Amino acid sequence: MTKATQAIDAQRLTLILNDLRLPAIKLVWPDFAERADKEGWPAARLLAALAEHEIAERDRRRIERHLGEARLPPGKTLESFAFDAVPMISRAQVTAMCSGDGWLEKGANLILFGPPGCGKSNLAAAIGLALIENGWRVLFARTSDLVQKLQVARRELALEAAIAKLDKYHLLVLDDLAYVTKDQAETSVLFELISARYERRSMLITANQPFGEWNRVFPDPAMTLAAVDRLVHHATIFEMNVESYRRRSALQRQSRAGRPPTYATIKTADELSPRDNQAGE
């Protein structure tokens, strides 16, 4: 085969791969073909190698798209999360949940309770990232921000469509539920969102207050009971009742003359100073 014929065949193959929408193979097939010729690959091996490369590239591009739309806080991963600082949370259980198969398919929920600074948002973001890497779609949002957007949709008579648009996300992370204003308009759209996703699509909620104090969020006691009932019906609940990461890290930096800590640790009751005890009251 002449070089001219090879060039014509290569151009034709490029056009065919464009038509078939196989961009990854289009980029790498010359290198793969050269290696196959040198090493004497059977045709089936070359075809399999090209197909595997295309699939891997599609997975990578999909994850990039899903990460772009998820709006996760940067740098929050399960590897960097200090599980030793939250001993009531099992690393093995969280890791298992990040496959998503056992709960996202059923529209079950995950609820993280704990005081400010205990790592709820970090853990929620890390779980979201792991789920995206495993092929699921996630949206991370401050509850107050999302509620305001839904209020705008309601005023424009488009609330149902706005909630339906969120269905494309297997998991909706509502961060800082407690910061929703105790206002009938805000809490009613939040309740409608919870009701719409009930047993269909999953939610991960972080909150400072336990359920008994959710009357600070929902002004109507009946709405509070109904919201809690829907959220806990199929839910895993993590209670992260530990000292604030942020305050603990600040104290460690001060004690180490400005040197940042390697990771957060929990102080025992004996280690807490009187000021620490007063601050926790």
State how far the Cα of 276 lies from the Cα of 247, in Å rounded to an integer.
9
Residue type, 127: I
Q: What is the mean pLDDT of residues 29-54?
A: 93
State how far the Cα of 50 lies from the Cα of 56, in Å rounded to an integer.
10
- Residue 178 belongs to some domain of the structure: yes
- The answer to whether 72 and 125 have CB atoms below 8 angstroms apart is yes
Structural domain boundaries enclosing 153: 83-239
Same domain, 183 and 230: yes
Can you give the pLDDT at residue 262?
Answer: 42
Confidence of residue 249 (pLDDT cuts 50, 70, 90): low
Q: CB-based contacts of 197: which residues, under 8 Å, 6+ apart?
A: 107, 166, 167, 172, 203
Same domain, 60 and 98: no
Same domain, 119 and 18: no
- The answer to whether 217 and 180 have CB atoms below 8 angstroms apart is yes
Same domain, 229 and 96: yes
Q: What is the mean pLDDT of residues 180-200?
A: 84
Same domain, 95 and 126: yes
pLDDT tens-digit series, residues 213-243:
787 777 778 888 898 999 999 999 999 987 6
Q: CB-based contacts of 114: which residues, under 8 Å, 6+ apart?
A: 120, 206, 208, 239, 240, 241, 242
Same domain, 195 and 253: no
Question: For residue 269, is pLDDT > 50?
Answer: no
- Residue 49 belongs to some domain of the structure: yes
The structural domain count of the chain equals 3
- Residue 218 belongs to some domain of the structure: yes
- Residue 77 belongs to some domain of the structure: no
Question: For residue 87, is pLDDT > 70?
Answer: yes
pLDDT tens-digit series, residues 153-165:
999 999 999 999 9
- Residue 220 belongs to some domain of the structure: yes
Among 51-55, 201-205, 255-259, which stretch is predicted with the lowest mean pLDDT?
255-259
Can you give the pLDDT at residue 254?
Answer: 53
The token pair that represents 248 in the structure block: 């603990």
CATH (domain of 115): 3.40.50.300
